Amino acid sequence: MFSVIVIADETGPIEKLSSGLAEVGFNCSIMPDGEDVIEQVIGQCPDLMLIAMDGVSANSGMWSLPQRIKQGMRLPVIALASREALHRLDSAPSVDDFVVEPWDPAEVKVRAKRALQRTNHIDSEELIKCGDLMIDLARCEVSVNGRLVLLTFKEYELLKFLASNQDRVFTRESLLNKVWGYDYYGGDRTVDVHIRRLRSKIEDSTHTFIETVRNVGYKFRDSV
């Protein structure tokens, strides 16, 4: 079941859509726009966002909300709009798709699944996925549970190399050669420092991706 959050200032018309989405297999919740809306969205880790952008000014915070959401999460966003508001959608470039009122839950379901496929690059060779961790090779982006993770260049290259060779054990020296290059003259402690920083950014109490192999080196787990 996909988890969907609908952002709407007027919840009346949205409640009917929410009920319809529940009938076609979506777990749907509604919340109003507000100062802490981004934090609430990140906290709930939805699969998809629906934003009611009808009836509000193109200069309002609601129209900038898709861009603000995408700055914090790798998340598809679909606009709910009236036919009269279609000409204003060009001012919301971060919107992945739109549905025109009256909103048909069946149409929303189809558009939602297509947006999820495009965002997650399903069946794409440019995506490395392990549990909740995704590495978008085309965009050089890393996300955990839909949350974008900011990595340095070497942290990203180290993670990409390990994740591309899941369950293979690499010594610190081999990682230095593969990631830093044969002309790097730093000590193997560099690897330990980068692994520690990488773990602090992508792992928590429920996620463990990189495993230490005692007296040898590190490996990326093939399952979490």
Distance of CA 158 to the CA centre of its chain: 20
For residue 37, is pLDDT > 50?
yes
Interval 16-29: pLDDT, tens? 888 888 887 788 88
Please compute the mean of the pLDDT values over residues 178-201 and round it to a whole number. 84
Identify how many contiguous H helices and E strands the chain contains and give both numbers. 7, 12
Q: Confidence band (pLDDT; 50, 70, 90) for 121?
A: very low
Distance of CA 212 to the CA centre of its chain: 27
Structural domains of the chain ordered from first start: 2-120 (3.40.50.2300), 127-220 (1.10.10.10)
Q: Look up the pTM and report it.
A: 0.55
For residue 44, is pLDDT > 70?
yes
